[in-house]
Amino acid sequence: MKKMDLYNVLISPIVTEKSNNVAEKREQVVFKVLPSATKSDVKQAFELAFEAKVDKVSLLNVKGKTKRFGRFNGKRANWKKAYICLTPGQKFDLASNQK
């Protein structure tokens, strides 16, 4: 992929209690990524954006929930989640990487 396209692969970090536990115990970071992204795209985008070495990437497709909006049934969009495992010794803090 082109360099500008790689900056669009990572949509947003997921900051929840579960993702914080994963970050502390397994040195992993959780991001929402493009639905068309591959493991190599996510790895290259993370290394380009945050200058941290990535050991491996796991992708997970999240199904959109079915919800009711008043008397109408609707469905939220499907999306993709990436668990990014950093190499041992690498530190990643989202707050310190903001410019």
DSSP string, 14-75: --SHHHHHHHHHH-EEEEEE-TT--HHHHHHHHHHHH---EEEEEEEEEPPPEEEETTEEEE
Q: Sorting pLDDT into bands at 50, 70 and 90, what band is 54?
A: very high
- pLDDT the model gives residue 93: 72
Q: Sorting pLDDT into bands at 50, 70 and 90, what band is 64?
A: very high
- pLDDT the model gives residue 97: 60
Q: What is the mean pLDDT of residues 46-63?
A: 94
pLDDT at 78 exceeding the cut of 90: yes
Per residue in 13-52, pLDDT tens?
A: 999 999 999 988 988 999 999 999 999 999 999 999 888 8
Per residue in 79-89, pLDDT tens?
A: 999 999 999 88
Domains delineated in the chain: 3-89 (3.30.70.330)
Q: Is the pTM of this model over 0.95?
A: no
